[in-house]
Amino acid sequence: MQSALIDRALLERALSVLHQPIYLPHCAAAGVDVLLRRDDHLPGGNKFYKLYFNLKEARAAGKDTLLSFGGAHSNHLHALVLACQAEGFNGRVLVRGYPQSPTTHTLQDVSAAGLKVQFVGHGEYRRLCQTQQVPLASDEYLIPEGGANALGEQGASYIGRAVQQQLGGDVRHIVMAAGTGSTLAGVASALEGGTEALGVSVLKGPPGRSLYTGGKGRLPSWKMLWGFCGKGYGRPLTPAMLAFWQEFEYNNSVLIDPIYTLKMLWAVNQLAGLGYWRRGDRIVAVHTGGLQGRRGFTQQPATTISTVPEKTFARIKV
Ligand SMILES: *Cc1c(COP(=O)(O)O)cnc(C)c1O
C-alpha cells in the first residue's frame, strides 16, 4: 500500500503540523507525557490527508466532478467542499436522510459552495456504501464515505511518517479517533521501531467487544480500542464526558469536537487512570479536526474559548 515514492508536498504539509504538550489529569498523575498533534490546523483535518491522493487520481483520470457520500453533519463532506473550492472540482454528494429533514450547517455549506446534494434513504444509503455501485457520469470520480480507500490510507500514512521525522523514535503510541479505521491503518503502515498506532473507536463495537480488545489487523503495529464512545456515535455525551470536554478546553485552550477527538482524549485519560500506559511513556494524540461538526451538536461547553477559524484548503499542486 505504501508507495516507494514520497510526495514531497504532502510530506512538507505534514511536517508543518505542530505538537503541543497538553494537560490530562490522569496522565499527569501517571507520569505520562501527551503531545497533541494539531492536524486540526489543516483544512479538513485528517480528511485533508485522505482526500489528497484521491484528488490527484481524479485529476489524472481527467474527471472534474467528485462524488461522495455522508451524513448531514459529515466532516468528510465538509472537507470535500474545501477541496472542490481549492482545486476547482465540481461535486455531487449523496446525503443519508430526507429532503424534508431540517437542514444543517454542513449541508448549508455544501449547497452554498455549489455542490449538488441528493438525499438517499437509510436502507438505500447503506446498500450504496457497501456496494459502491453508484451510476456515475463520465466526468465523475467516486470517493467512498469518509475517504476510506487505499488512496485515503496512503495519504494518512503521512501523519505517521511526519510524527517519526519530527519527534524521533521516543514516541511509544500514536492515538487517534477511529471511524472507518482507515486513518489508523494508514498511520500504522508508516511506523517503524516500537511505535504503536492506537485507534479509539467512536462506534459501539460488535456485541461482546469491551475495553481495549486488540484488533487483528493486517499489520501488527495497530490496535483498536473499544468502549470509549459513551452512548454511541453522535449521541449526547454523558455528564462525565461533558465535564471532561469543558475542563479540557479550559485547561489547554484548544477546541475539540464532541464526536471524535473528545472520545479519543477521554480514552487516553481514562486509560492512564487504569494503568494502561507506562510511566515515562510519550504519547502523540492526533487532533483530527472535525470542529465544523460541533456546530450542530446539541450540547455545548458552558465556557467558550477563542477559536481559530478553519482555513481554506491550501492549493495542492497536482
Ligand atoms: C472522519 C474522522 C475521523 C475518523 O477517521 P477514519 O479514517 O474514518 O477512522 C476521526 N476524526 C475526525 C475529526 C474525523 O472527521
Question: Domain of 36: which CATH number?
Answer: 3.40.50.1100
| Amino acid 88: pLDDT | 96
Q: What whole-number distance in Å separates Cα of residue 35 and Cα of residue 22?
A: 6
User: Does the beta carbon of 186 sit less than 6 angstroms from any atom of ligand 1?
Assistant: no
User: Does the beta carbon of 54 sit less than 6 angstroms from any atom of ligand 1?
Assistant: no
User: Does the beta carbon of 180 sit less than 6 angstroms from any atom of ligand 1?
Assistant: yes
Whether the per-residue pLDDT at 73 is higher than 90: the answer is: yes
Looking at the structure, tell me whether residues 201 and 288 fall in a common domain: yes
- Judge whether 2 lies within some domain: no
Q: Identify the band that residue 213 occupies on the pLDDT scale cut at 50, 70 and 90.
A: low
Q: Which residues contact 70 (CB under 8 A, 6 or more apart)?
A: 76, 77, 80, 93, 94, 95, 96, 145, 146
Which residue range is the domain that position 260 belongs to? 8-43+150-296
- Quote the cell numbers at residue 223: 490496535
Average model confidence (pLDDT) across the chain: 90
| Amino acid 221: pLDDT | 76
Looking at the structure, tell me whether residues 177 and 269 fall in a common domain: yes
- Quote the cell numbers at residue 282: 510519550
Q: What whole-number distance in Å separates Cα of residue 162 and Cα of residue 181?
A: 19
Looking at the structure, tell me whether residues 68 and 162 fall in a common domain: no
Whether the per-residue pLDDT at 67 is higher than 90: the answer is: yes
Boundary residue ending a domain (116, 147, 178): 147
Looking at the structure, tell me whether residues 154 and 186 fall in a common domain: yes
Looking at the structure, tell me whether residues 184 and 128 fall in a common domain: no
Distance 288 CA to ligand 1 centre (A): 7
- Judge whether 32 lies within some domain: yes
Whether the per-residue pLDDT at 257 is higher than 50: the answer is: yes
Distance 179 CA to ligand 1 centre (A): 5
- Judge whether 74 lies within some domain: yes
Region 140-163 average pLDDT = 95
User: Does the beta carbon of 269 sit less than 6 angstroms from any atom of ligand 1?
Assistant: no
Looking at the structure, tell me whether residues 27 and 166 fall in a common domain: yes
Whether the per-residue pLDDT at 209 is higher than 90: the answer is: no
Looking at the structure, tell me whether residues 113 and 134 fall in a common domain: yes
| Amino acid 36: pLDDT | 98
Looking at the structure, tell me whether residues 251 and 283 fall in a common domain: yes
Looking at the structure, tell me whether residues 73 and 207 fall in a common domain: no
Whether the per-residue pLDDT at 229 is higher than 70: the answer is: yes
Whether the per-residue pLDDT at 99 is higher than 60: the answer is: yes
Whether the per-residue pLDDT at 318 is higher than 70: the answer is: no
Looking at the structure, tell me whether residues 223 and 252 fall in a common domain: yes
Region 204-231 average pLDDT = 71
Looking at the structure, tell me whether residues 165 and 287 fall in a common domain: yes
Strands laid side by side in the 90-96 sheet: 116-120, 90-96, 65-70, 140-142
- Judge whether 313 lies within some domain: no
Ligand 1 pocket, mutate which of 184, 255, 260, 292 (most atoms under 8 A from CB) = 260
Region 126-139 average pLDDT = 92
Whether the per-residue pLDDT at 310 is higher than 50: the answer is: no
Q: Identify the band that residue 314 occupies on the pLDDT scale cut at 50, 70 and 90.
A: very low
User: Does the beta carbon of 183 sit less than 6 angstroms from any atom of ligand 1?
Assistant: yes
Boundary residue ending a domain (101, 119, 147): 147
- Quote the cell numbers at residue 140: 465523475
Q: Identify the band that residue 252 occupies on the pLDDT scale cut at 50, 70 and 90.
A: very high
Boundary residue ending a domain (106, 126, 147): 147
Grid coordinates 481549492 are at which residue? 86
Q: Identify the band that residue 2 occupies on the pLDDT scale cut at 50, 70 and 90.
A: very low
Looking at the structure, tell me whether residues 85 and 23 fall in a common domain: no
Whether the per-residue pLDDT at 76 is higher than 60: the answer is: yes
Structural domains of the chain, count: 2
Query: Quick one: which atom of ligand 1 is closest to the CA of 290?
Result: 13
- Judge whether 123 lies within some domain: yes
Distance 38 CA to ligand 1 centre (A): 14
- Judge whether 143 lies within some domain: yes
User: Does the beta carbon of 106 sit less than 6 angstroms from any atom of ligand 1?
Assistant: no
- Three-state DSSP at 168 gives helix
Whether the per-residue pLDDT at 216 is higher than 50: the answer is: no
